[in-house]
């Protein structure tokens, strides 16, 4: 039998970071008491009319432009009709035949391009709560409508992805791009970013598509990868055994690490889409689009390339430093405050700072880029040793203390007075006649050990370069 290849497409829903919902002025906020952020409009009560949130349209356009999409000249909204307990209106306001943007895409590190079919704007539904606090409650499912009417963009890719690893990289890059543009916080735990996958298999080289299976309930990028791996193998196995696949929706069961059938897949005709009579179509002018385009910051890949070029730092460090917008900003601010050694600053961030503060926490925590720059400057000017810098660093980070003040307070100023260093050297020479003899007999490696002893005797405060000179002279 011929080798089989997978054909994968993704549908990603992203909540937009607006202050209010898409068609009413209720707060768009996660974590509030259930059913407190609601009004007649997002509940779909008779007579309530939707008013489009301008900011939601702006953010959606910004996301589409950052992903190189073509913005539609006129926009309209449609009703997608279906019944579900989290949707009291009986329809979801979405965009059907004229999405906000079409085309665009993301190029992966292996050079393959994942094209986008479309990006459209829509409202979110409410949330069903199946968790129960008592046995009695477990007979019920509760509904929280706080999320109903939250602005979403749905990003639909072409079936250009071939492996679970490519799907993973696409999602990581997509998330990073949207975070950089401040379109969404992309928090998967809070449901700000959700992903469904479509997957089929076919003989390699074939241009026909196999039977498409949709996978839902993917709540992390790792889950997307695992579910796709499982599903591709399952489909190949079925076909090899001579069975036929049916188009369906399957759920990923993270505990059992498998997908299971949920329902037959409905076609778009089942939703009886029609234009929403309450919302008129409108156009967004060229000028407005250009204005939004100017708000798009330098995107991660370009920024990383510039870091390599401008500051001479290694590519891997540049990749780490641009892994969140806040971390890149932190690096550049530190460099502005001490431009003499960007490489040293990059090193301190990747090796020391990220051990204290994870990249995702940067921007939320009070770490001062100026303090980090000061620390690197103090090492460079040999005011302190690297060892002392590492020792005080956790305090600088956790308590936001100025390193210069801290050194003053602790009496950590290095000993550069050569008489004092000489005293330490003599002490070590006297205490270690054996190693000294070895060194004098030609075993040069012992020298490093002796330097170490002097540093230890000075509690790490002696300037290592002076120690080297003086010790060599004395020996
Ligand atoms: Zn509302």
DSSP for 377-409, please give it.
HHHHTTSS-HHHHHHHHHHHHHH---HHHHHHH
Interval between CA 167 and ligand 1 midpoint (Å): 35
Measure the CA angle with vertex 450, ends 449 and 452; round to 5°: 65
Interval between CA 8 and ligand 1 midpoint (Å): 36
Interval between CA 269 and ligand 1 midpoint (Å): 29
Interval between CA 22 and ligand 1 midpoint (Å): 9
Interval between CA 76 and ligand 1 midpoint (Å): 21
Distance between CA atoms of residues 89 and 85, nearest Å: 10
Interval between CA 39 and ligand 1 midpoint (Å): 4
Interval between CA 462 and ligand 1 midpoint (Å): 66
Interval between CA 176 and ligand 1 midpoint (Å): 30
Cβ pair 12, 174 in contact under 8 A: yes
Interval between CA 40 and ligand 1 midpoint (Å): 6
Beta pairing partners, 462: 415
Interval between CA 20 and ligand 1 midpoint (Å): 9
- Please state the φ and ψ torsions of residue 423, each to the nearest 5 degrees: -60, -45
Tell me the domain boundaries of the chain. 4-291, 298-410, 418-474
Predicted TM-score (pTM) of the model is 0.82
Its CATH class, for the domain covering 418-474, is mainly alpha
Interval between CA 288 and ligand 1 midpoint (Å): 27
CB within 5 A of ion ligand 1: which residues?
Answer: 24, 26, 39, 41-42
Per-residue pLDDT of the chain (475 residues; tens, 9 = 90+): 578 999 999 999 999 999 999 999 999 999 999 999 999 999 999 999 999 999 999 999 999 999 999 999 999 999 999 999 999 999 999 999 999 999 999 999 999 999 999 999 999 999 998 876 776 767 788 999 999 999 999 999 999 999 999 999 999 999 999 999 999 999 988 889 999 999 999 999 888 889 999 999 898 999 999 999 999 999 999 999 999 998 999 999 989 999 998 877 666 678 899 999 999 999 999 999 999 999 999 999 999 999 999 999 999 999 999 998 989 999 999 999 999 999 999 999 999 999 888 877 776 667 889 999 999 999 998 888 888 888 888 888 888 888 888 888 877 776 777 788 888 888 889 988 888 888 888 888 888 888 888 888 887 778 778 888 888 888 8
Going from the C-alpha of 244 to that of each of 4, 247, 361, the distances in angstroms are 15, 10, 48
Give the three-class secondary structure for 1: coil
Interval between CA 120 and ligand 1 midpoint (Å): 21
């Amino acid at each position: 039998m011929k080798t089989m290849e997978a054909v994968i497409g993704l549908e990603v829903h992203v909540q937009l970071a607006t202050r209010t919902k898409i068609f009413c002025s209720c707060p768009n906020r996660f974590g509030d008491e259930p059913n407190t952020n609601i009004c007649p409009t997002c509940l779909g009560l008779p007579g309530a009319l939707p008013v489009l949130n301008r900011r939601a349209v702006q953010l959606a356009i910004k996301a589409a432009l950052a992903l190189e999409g073509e913005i539609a000249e006129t926009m309209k909204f449609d009703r997608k009709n279906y019944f579900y307990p989290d949707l009291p209106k009986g329809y979801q306001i979405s965009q059907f035949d004229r999405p906000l943007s079409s085309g665009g895409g993301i190029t992966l590190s292996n050079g393959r391009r994942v094209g986008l079919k479309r990006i459209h704007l829509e409202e979110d539904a409410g949330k069903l709560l199946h968790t129960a606090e008592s046995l009695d409650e477990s007979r019920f499912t509760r509904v929280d409508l706080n999320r109903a009417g939250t602005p979403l963009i749905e990003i639909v890719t072409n079936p250009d992805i071939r492996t679970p690893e490519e799907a993973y990289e696409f999602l990581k890059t997509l998330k990073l791009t949207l975070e950089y543009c401040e379109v969404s916080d992309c928090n998967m735990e809070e449901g700000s970013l959700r992903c469904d996958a479509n997957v089929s298999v076919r003989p390699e080289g074939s241009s026909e598509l196999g039977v498409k299976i949709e996978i839902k309930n993917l709540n992390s990028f790792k889950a997307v990868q695992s579910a796709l791996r499982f599903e591709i193998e399952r489909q190949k196995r079925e076909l090899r055994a001579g069975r036929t696949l049916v188009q369906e929706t399957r759920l990923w069961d993270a505990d059992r690490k498998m997908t299971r059938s949920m329902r037959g897949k409905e076609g778009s005709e089942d939703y009886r889409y029609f234009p929403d009579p309450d919302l008129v179509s409108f156009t967004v002018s060229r000028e407005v689009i250009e204005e939004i385009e100017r708000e798009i910051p330098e995107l991660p890949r370009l920024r990383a390339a510039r870091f390599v070029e401008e500051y001479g730092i290694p590519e891997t460090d540049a990749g780490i430093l641009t892994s969140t917008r806040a971390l890149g900003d932190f690096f550049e601010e530190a460099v502005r405050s001490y431009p003499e050694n960007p490489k040293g600053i990059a090193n301190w961030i990747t090796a020391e700072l990220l051990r204290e503060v994870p990249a995702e926490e940067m921007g939320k925590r009070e770490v001062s880029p100026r303090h980090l720059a000061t620390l690197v400057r103090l090492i460079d000017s040999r005011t302190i040793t690297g060892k002392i810098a590492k020792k005080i660093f956790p305090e600088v980070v956790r308590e936001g203390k100025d390193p210069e003040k801290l050194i003053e307070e602790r009496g950590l100023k290095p000993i550069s007075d050569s008489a004092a260093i000489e005293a330490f050297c003599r002490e070590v020479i006297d205490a270690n006649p054996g190693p000294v003899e070895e060194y004098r007999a030609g075993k040069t490696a012992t020298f490093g050990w002796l330097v170490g002893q002097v540093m230890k005797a000075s509690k790490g405060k002696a300037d290592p370069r002076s120690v080297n000179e003086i010790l060599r002279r004395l020996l």
